[in-house]
Amino acid sequence: MNNKVKAWLEDGTIDVFLGYKEVDHHPLPYCFTKERLDEVDDLLLSPARYSLEKIATHMTDEEPDIKIGMLARDCNSRALNVLYLWNQLNPDNVRTVNVNCCPSRLKEHGDCSYLEPETVGAYKRRVGVDNNLALKDVEAYDETERLDRWMYEFQKCIKCYGCRNICPVCFCKECSLEHDELVRTGPLLPDVPVFHMVRAVHMAGRCIDCGLCEAACPMDIPLRLLYQKVNQIVMDLFDYKTGTSVEQPPFSILGDTVTLEPKPIEPLKVINNE
Amino acid sequence: MECKLVPSVCSYCGTGCGVLFEVINGKIVSTLPMKTHPVNEGKLCIKGWNLHEHVNSFMRLKQPLVKTFGRFIKTDWDEAIQLTADRFREIIEKYGPDSIGVLVSAKITNEENYLAQKFARAAIGTNNVDHCARL
Ligand code: SF4
Ligand code: SF4
Ligand code: SF4
Ligand code: SF4
């Protein structure tokens, strides 16, 4: 891995390489360059995960043509796909070194720790939503109970905006969560559940389920479940699995053509059988 | 392109969360929580998330101001310190050292707090030392 990165830096395939390095005893994201080639020997995989692709977009904002190499776990690659699609990064300017990904319901082995389930306290299990539940378990609660449980979670929000700030695919210059009509500045509780619903809607066809938002949430709100739900809807309606390809998402109005067709919709079942 | 990720400590409150500044071409463009920091374990409050904004703010005071005839006039540190020292001396001579109090802060380091109380006790001669976190 190190030799490949060195070679790329030396022959100009990339200008910088984003990986991890131990700084002050912390594994931190680090930008390796040709000028300090020796440092590449200290390149780490790091148990702690940061959104390297978000750093890459910030670099691209400064120098649009910069060629960036980066370590890519599975989540990084999925985020990159979404960023390519939404014209935030140019795939021609990005090279990845693919590495093992995190343990999750999808993959078994991994180098990072976040997706290991954390135990949830008894009170939260009783009145809130356990972060480790599967989507279908949450949906098994009846409607009133489900609403109560989610509202318990939402009302804890301290409006730190961490979920948005850390998210690799939240890049809007003007964010709806700062729009006065939707979420007012100042008050705590924030406007619940509007705050969380707005973000959930935006994550449809966009969230790549990396879990960084939930890990950054000081109130441990099960945000991933929320976005898994909206993406399940996208999957059911459009057969679109976010982040797995560079195929245009159903909600993107960018580009020349819309490539996705809705799945044939089954006739609605009559719910209210009066 | 110069991109550095600089670990630091949030200066907004006494909690002392670990942050990581994203510095691109000499400018802090973003603040991230430090995931492995024992204090905040990858989480921040809204103040910590926006540290780079107050560093870059055009409203930031970068040099001392002296209030002269009701208006703030820019000056240099030497003059500002001299003026402050002169006024302190005047006040102490007229009303005694206990007419002065020193308020320290949760936003500065232990060492700076120590220096401030030392200054109050040894230089000014008062025990009037207090702290914003002693509510
Ligand atoms: S899991 Fe959270 S941080 Fe990751 S892409 Fe989805 S919304 Fe963004
Ligand atoms: S929350 Fe919505 S508007 Fe805000 S940055 Fe994310 S996608 Fe954009
Ligand atoms: S990270 Fe959690 S507490 Fe912060 S704004 Fe998002 S949901 Fe609210
Ligand atoms: S991030 Fe918030 S809680 Fe942490 S030190 Fe800064 S102001 Fe205090």
Whole-number Å distance between alpha carbons of A197 and A54: 23
Residue B104 gets the label, from left (phi > 0), alpha (psi -120 to 50) or beta, of beta
Q: Provide the residue type at B15 as one letter.
A: T
pTM over 0.90: no
Domains in chain B (CATH in brackets) are 3-56 (2.20.25.90), 61-95 (no CATH), 97-135 (no CATH)
Q: Are the C-beta atoms of A233 and A193 separated by less than 8 Å?
A: no
Average pLDDT over every residue of B30-44 = 95
* 3-class secondary structure per residue, A118-181: CCCCHHHHHHCCCCCCCHHHHHCCCHHHHHHHHHHHHCCCCCCCHHHHHCCCCCCCCCHHHCCC
Preferred mutation among B1, B31, B50 to probe A, highest tally of A CBs within 10 A: B1
Centroid of ligand 4 to alpha carbon of B33 (angstroms): 10
Tell me: pLDDT of A268 over 60.
Answer: no
Give the domain ranges of chain A.
Answer: 2-98, 122-238
pLDDT for the residue B19:
97
Going from the C-alpha of B120 to that of each of B23, B98, B130, the distances in angstroms are 37, 10, 10
By C-alpha distance, which of A258, A138, A154, A253 is closest to A200? A154
Instruction: Report residue A239 as tokens.
Output: 């057969």
* Contact call for A48 and B25, based on CB within 8 A: no
pLDDT per position as a tens digit, A43-98: 988 878 899 999 999 999 999 999 999 999 888 999 999 999 888 999 999 999 99
CA of A11 to the centre of ligand 4 (A): 43
Lowest mean pLDDT among A88-92, A164-168, A256-260: A256-260
- Look up residue A262 and give its DSSP letter: P
- Distance in angstroms (rounded) separating the CA atoms of residues B100 and B119: 12
Look at residue B39 and tell me whether its pLDDT is greater than 90. yes
Lowest mean pLDDT among A70-79, A232-241, B31-40: A232-241
Nearest ligand (C-alpha, residue A161): 3
Sheet strands (E) in chain B = 3-9, 18-24, 27-33, 65-68, 71-74, 102-104, 129-131
Confidence at residue A104, expressed as pLDDT on a 0 to 100 scale: 52
Shortest Cα distance, chain B CAs vs residue A69, angstroms? 13
